[in-house]
């Protein structure tokens, strides 16, 4: 029998670690959280230092008993939950609940490799009290906000709604952006480009130049007729090269992934939403069967805000680059990337655990999504340790009468890191990249100052100013990170939660607030402006970081938070009244007007004489049910698993759909 017990939180991870540790260690899984705040009570004593009361999660008693049994007769108990605050807290709760007073040690590693695991066991330690406190502080804050705010939403809008602390700030950003879009009025403008060529050269020498200035003023053309009249004036003018500017530009490789950048790139390049990215990354981290010795952890831990890379991994990747791409692609010294102030230095960037395991070599063992994310992580890591790409940018000023045209071209001199990172096709390009590509397409021939050019065509084009774009998973995470809201463990859950509650819908990749989302947001902004203030939320995140470092007590944060929060709460409780939305429809039973009500499952029409008249009606989308001959219409519904369309003939017809069929006729 093995002398040692190791507890982790997932069965796959247990299997991967067990293979590494061998027969002396018995590795078991807690199957996720087993202890948490109670589901139906506050579970926090606001009178006594905000002490939380933890309970065993229903259904987890059996696992608890199993763990206890496993521990019998073991000399050492180790807890190897994930290497972050949440992992530290889960581990500590297991220790407190099951092994109080016993010698239980914490081991943590950022990748599940023989080397990292061995090192971790060599450095087995006591639990980090500060990390645990930071996690408790976050959990208690979130619990208080959710527990006290939700009933106010029920009072004003509908039963069953809920609001979270950081999610509400995410919702606020999305709702505010939508209002900017609604208010936006597009204005028309025109651009003129000239297709030019070298008259004395045979063969293709066509290139494009754009009208930039008129009489030294920025060209601003508002209407078609103005564009036409400029073209008419230009037709027989001389186009003369005024100045040629050539500059060498370097594009530096990006840092290896941290959680936020991985989520952004996986959305931009693979169209994965943030939750999907995290799910797949977790599979790659915990271990995958790859034939010979199963399973194997393929990447480092996926929740991190540090771009640091272990020294051994740097050595390996440099050797690999030298071998696969050539010495020219290898910088003299390793590239170093700076972490943000708040980043936890002990963490590492997300990178492949074994650089020798190329994406190609794993193609037979990983599924399509796994291989695509692995490839992205792998190539990004390679790129991060390669030389910059070098371009020669050419900008030519061309004068025709009072009109100044500029031709931009760009020529790749040295591929550098692009040799590794450009392989993956981008589905949605960033604006900057777009511009670069346009320049690269425009081949400006060798020109001389004073040279006269031939005019092939003038192309006026109509444009409209655009409203700010809706947020995508990628741009929302970027915004949250820039504002200092959220942490590696929270970006994906923020988006997931507001979609689950149907405050936001993801339509063709973009986040659209719903009517319900606007209502919830407006209530929170009106009564709790501070709680969902962007700067305030960022400040709390910073303070939680201080708790984790041991320079601040979590009780202090909670005290500072609770008093003003309680004041807003009392005011809201006294002043919030149910909102009544009238309609011009009349009740077909009693003739009184119908009003719009929100229920647990969505919006519906109710008789205003309720409870005397209990008549109610669904609000249909007008779109026919997908089942032939059903005759029902689709109705918006909400459930615990999010938003969907259901049939008006429910329960007779159980047709459901995530989106409305396109054909509305």
Exposed/middle/buried for residue 69 (C-beta within 10 Å: 0-12, 13-18, 19+): exposed
DSSP class of residue 352 equals B
Tell me the CB-side half-sphere exposure of residue 126, using CA atoms within 13 A.
5
Minimum CB separation of residue 636 from Zn ion in Å reads 15
Name which of 169, 139, 55 is nearest 525 in CA terms: 169
d(CA 513, CA 660): 17
Cα–Cα distances (Å) from 179 to 499, 516, 527, in that order, read 19, 14, 19
Between 443 and 630, CB nearer to Zn ion: 630
Count of CB atoms within 10 A of residue 34's CB? Answer: 21
Between 414 and 610, CB nearer to Zn ion: 610
Give the 3-state secondary structure of 178-219: HHHHHHCCCCEEEEEEEEEECCCCCCCCCEEEEEEEECCEEC
Minimum CB separation of residue 639 from Zn ion in Å reads 17
**Alpha-helical segments (H) within 463-514:** 473-483, 491-500
Sign of CA pseudo-dihedral 16, 17, 22, 27: negative
329: three-class secondary structure by DSSP? helix
Q: Is-catalytic flag, 403?
A: no
Sign of CA pseudo-dihedral 155, 157, 163, 169: negative
Between 154 and 655, CB nearer to Zn ion: 655
For residue 278, give every residue at least 6 positions away whose Cβ sits within 8 Å of its Cβ, in sequence order, or none.
259, 263, 302, 492
Between 246 and 589, CB nearer to Zn ion: 589
Minimum CB separation of residue 626 from Zn ion in Å reads 7
Sign of CA pseudo-dihedral 513, 517, 523, 525: negative
Minimum CB separation of residue 291 from Zn ion in Å reads 48
> CA 499, 661, 651: angle at the middle one, nearest 5?
75
Minimum CB separation of residue 641 from Zn ion in Å reads 20
Between 331 and 599, CB nearer to Zn ion: 599
Between 406 and 613, CB nearer to Zn ion: 613
Between 23 and 665, CB nearer to Zn ion: 665
Cα–Cα distances (Å) from 245 to 13, 212, 365, 435, 439, in that order, read 57, 16, 52, 18, 14
Binding interface with Zn ion (CB under 5 A)? 587, 589-590, 607, 609, 613, 615, 625, 627, 630, 632, 647, 649, 653, 655
Minimum CB separation of residue 650 from Zn ion in Å reads 8
Minimum CB separation of residue 629 from Zn ion in Å reads 9
Contacts of the segment 176-179: beta carbons below 8 A, 24+ positions apart: 177/468, 177/470, 177/471, 178/470, 178/512, 178/513, 178/518
Between 609 and 619, CB nearer to Zn ion: 609
Minimum CB separation of residue 661 from Zn ion in Å reads 12
Between 63 and 630, CB nearer to Zn ion: 630
Q: Tokens representing 69? A: 């049994």
Contact 87, 30 (CB under 8 A): no
For residue 242, give every residue at least 6 positions away whose Cβ sits within 8 Å of its Cβ, in sequence order, or none.
397, 398, 399, 404, 449
Which residue among the candidates 285, 301, 496, 503 is catalytic per the annotation? 301
d(CA 166, CA 173): 11
Between 105 and 613, CB nearer to Zn ion: 613
Helix (H) or strand (E) holding 244, with range, is strand 239-251
Minimum CB separation of residue 660 from Zn ion in Å reads 14
Between 7 and 595, CB nearer to Zn ion: 595
Minimum CB separation of residue 621 from Zn ion in Å reads 13
Contact 605, 570 (CB under 8 A): no
d(CA 193, CA 305): 45
Cα–Cα distances (Å) from 438 to 14, 207, 331, 390, 392, in that order, read 50, 12, 29, 17, 14
Minimum CB separation of residue 97 from Zn ion in Å reads 49
Tell me the CB-side half-sphere exposure of residue 473, using CA atoms within 13 A.
34
Q: Tokens representing 143? A: 């619990």
Q: What is the DSSP string of 388-437?
A: PEEEEEEEEEEEETTEEEEEEEEEEEE-TTHHHHTTSPPSS--HHHHHHH
Contact 402, 214 (CB under 8 A): yes
Catalytic residues: 301
């Amino acid at each position: 029998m093995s002398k040692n017990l190791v507890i982790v939180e997932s069965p796959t991870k247990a299997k991967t670690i067990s293979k590494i540790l061998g027969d002396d260690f018995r590795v078991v899984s807690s199957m996720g959280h087993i202890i948490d705040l109670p589901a139906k009570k506050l579970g926090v004593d606001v009178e006594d230092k905000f002490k939380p009361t933890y309970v065993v999660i229903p259904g987890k008693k059996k696992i608890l008993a199993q763990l206890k049994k496993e521990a019998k007769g073991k000399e050492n108990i180790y807890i190897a939950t994930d290497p972050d605050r949440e992992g530290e807290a889960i581990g500590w709760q297991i220790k407190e609940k099951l092994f109080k007073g016993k010698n239980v040690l914490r081991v943590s590693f950022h990748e599940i490799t023989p080397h990292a695991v061995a090192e971790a066991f060599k450095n087995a330690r006591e639990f980090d009290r500060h990390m645990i406190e930071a996690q408790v502080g976050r959990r208690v804050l979130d619990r208080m906000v959710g527990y006290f705010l939700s009933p106010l939403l029920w009072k004003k809008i509908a039963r069953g709604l809920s609001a979270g602390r950081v999610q509400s700030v995410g919702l606020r950003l999305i709702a505010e952006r939508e209002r900017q879009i609604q208010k936006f009025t597009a204005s028309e403008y025109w651009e003129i480009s000239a297709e030019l060529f070298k008259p004395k050269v045979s063969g293709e020498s066509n290139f494009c130049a754009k009208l930039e200035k008129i009489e030294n003023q920025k060209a601003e053309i508002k209407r078609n007729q103005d564009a036409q009249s400029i073209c008419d004036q230009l037709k027989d003018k001389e186009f003369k090269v005024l100045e040629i500017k050539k500059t060498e530009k370097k594009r530096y490789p990006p840092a290896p992934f941290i959680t936020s950048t991985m989520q952004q790139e996986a959305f931009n390049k693979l169209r994965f939403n943030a939750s999907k990215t995290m799910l797949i990354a977790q599979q790659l981290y915990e271990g995958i069967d790859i034939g010979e010795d199963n399973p194997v952890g393929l990447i480092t831990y996926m929740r991190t805000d540090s771009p640091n890379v272990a020294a051994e991994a740097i050595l390996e990747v440099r050797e690999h680059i030298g071998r696969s791409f050539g010495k020219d692609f290898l910088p003299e010294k390793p590239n170093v990337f700076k972490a943000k102030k708040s980043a936890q230095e002990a963490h590492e960037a997300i990178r492949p655990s074994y650089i020798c395991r190329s994406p190609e070599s794993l193609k037979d063992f990983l599924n399509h999504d796994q291989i695509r994310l692995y490839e992205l992580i792998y190539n990004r890591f390679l790129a991060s340790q390669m030389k910059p790409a070098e371009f020669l940018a050419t900008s030519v000023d061309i004068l025709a009468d009072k009109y100044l045209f500029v031709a931009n071209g760009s020529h790749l001199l040295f591929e550098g890191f692009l040799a590794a990172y450009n392989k993956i096709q981008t589905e949605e390009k960033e604006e900057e990249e777009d511009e670069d590509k346009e320049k690269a397409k425009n081949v400006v021939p060798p020109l001389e100052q004073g040279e006269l050019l031939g005019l092939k065509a003038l192309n006026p084009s109509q444009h409209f100013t655009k409203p700010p774009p809706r947020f995508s998973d990628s741009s929302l995470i970027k915004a949250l990170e820039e504002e200092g809201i959220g942490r590696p463990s929270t970006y994906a859950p923020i988006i997931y939660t507001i979609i689950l509650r149907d405050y936001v819908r993801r339509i063709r990749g973009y986040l659209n607030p719903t009517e319900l989302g606007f209502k919830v947001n407006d209530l929170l902004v009106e009564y709790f402006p501070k709680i969902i203030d962007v700067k305030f939320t960022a400040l709390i995140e910073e303070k939680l970081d201080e708790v984790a470092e041991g320079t601040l007590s979590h009780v202090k944060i909670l005290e500072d938070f609770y008093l003003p929060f309680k004041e807003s709460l009392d005011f809201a409780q006294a002043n919030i009244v149910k909102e009544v939305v009238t309609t011009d429809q009349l009740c077909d039973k009693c003739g009184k007007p119908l009003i719009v009500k929100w229920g647990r499952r969505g919006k519906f029409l109710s008789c205003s004489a309720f409870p005397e008249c209990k008549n109610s009606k669904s609000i249909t989308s007008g779109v026919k049910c997908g089942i032939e001959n059903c005759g029902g219409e689709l109705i918006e519904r909400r459930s615990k698993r999010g938003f969907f369309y259901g049939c008006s003939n429910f329960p007779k017809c159980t047709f459901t759909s995530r989106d409305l069929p396109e054909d509305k006729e």
